[in-house]
Structure 1
Amino acid sequence: MTNAVYAPRLAIALFAALAVAACSKVENPEVSAADPGHASGEHGSSSSAGLPDGRIAQGEQLASAKGAATGQSCVDCHGAEGNAPIDDTYPKLGGQYGDYIAHALQQYRAGERVHVLMSPQAAALSDQDISDLAAYFGSRTTQLRDLHGVE
């Protein structure tokens, strides 16, 4: 076979390896000793979004609170614990990585990501609100699946 045949396969393998490396948790003993919450791997204990630590109980309250912008709560659209969206195009949030949720909410709030309902809902959220929601939904049982074993 020629190199042209192998190039797409190599690109896919390289991309997959980079994705796995980016998602893999590598413990740093210096960080773990300084921040025991980081070592535990608990949702909301550390954020790449530059947010304060998330509080699951406060996030649960926020998830059920009606937003002034739309009159809806998170669970009204995404379902109980974020696992039963009312529309197939709405994502399941339960068990999602907290940092993913936090970054998405920050982007909606900043207008970098736009959705007719989410943009106004996120506009009023503080950094602590975003962190709390991310911690709550990240702590729920997931119905998400990864691609391990999928051929």
Structure 2
Amino acid sequence: MTRALLFTLALFSASNVLADESKGDPAEGRLKAYTCTGCHGVTGWRNAYPNYHVPRIGGQNYDYLVAALTEYKNGGRKHPTMRAQGESLSEADIRDIASFLSSIKSAE
């Protein structure tokens, strides 16, 4: 009985660790998201040139961020700057960045 209980606890602990890793590491994401703030960190969320609205990404939903970055990476979304950014990211990078950005408390 003790072995079965220990085995069950080990499996439960391992599944929790794996689940947390699948969401990415926000500390790593903070380091990797430095290029994001060049446009998305601008006061008023506007890019200087060309002048267009830049979406808010701080505090955005984790799953949305993963989906959007993955689509930029794979060419499903066509914005040339974001496509170039996405192509340079691994799946782990995307999860880390999404984990960090989704953890930010939005001021808006």
Q: TM (normalized to structure 2)?
A: 0.72
Superposed displacement of residue 86, structure 1? 3.5
CA distance in 1, matches of 2:46, 2:33: 15
Query: Is 1:104 aligned with 2:68?
Result: yes
Deviations 1:36-82 (A, max 9, x none): 58xxxxxx948xxxxx3310011000111xxxxxxxx11111107xx
Equivalence map 1:87-126=2 (5 Å): 87=47, 89-126=53-90
The 8 Å contact of residues 94 and 143 in structure 1, kept in 2 or not, is answered as no
Q: 2:39 aligns with which of 55, 58, 77?
A: 77
| Identical-residue share of aligned pairs (%) | 32
Q: Which runs of 5+ in 1 are unaligned?
A: 1-33, 38-43, 47-51, 65-72, 145-151
Q: Is the 8 A contact 1:56 1:133 kept in 2?
A: yes
What secondary structure sits across from 1:120 in the alignment?
helix
Task: Please state how far the C-alpha of 1:98 moved relative to its aligned partner.
Answer: 0.8
Shift >2 Å, 4+ stretches: 34-37, 83-88
Name the structure 1 match of 2:99: 135
Deviation of 1:84 after TM superposition, in Å, equals 5.3
The corresponding residue for 2:5 is: none
Distance 1:91 1:77 in 2: 9
Alpha-carbon distance in structure 2 between the residues aligned to 1:107 and 1:57? 23
- Deviation string for 1:79-113 (max 9, x for gaps)? 07xx7534351111111001100000000000011
Q: Contact (CA 8 Å) 1:54, 1:135: kept in 2 or not?
A: yes
Structure 1 vs Structure 2 CA RMSD: 2.7
Partner of 2:28: 58
**Structure 2: runs of 5 or more not aligned:** 1-11
Quote how far apart the aligned CAs of 1:124 are: 1.2
Higher relative contact order (CA 8 A, sep 6+): 2
How far is the alpha carbon of 1:143 from its aligned partner? 3.6
Greater per-residue helix proportion: 2
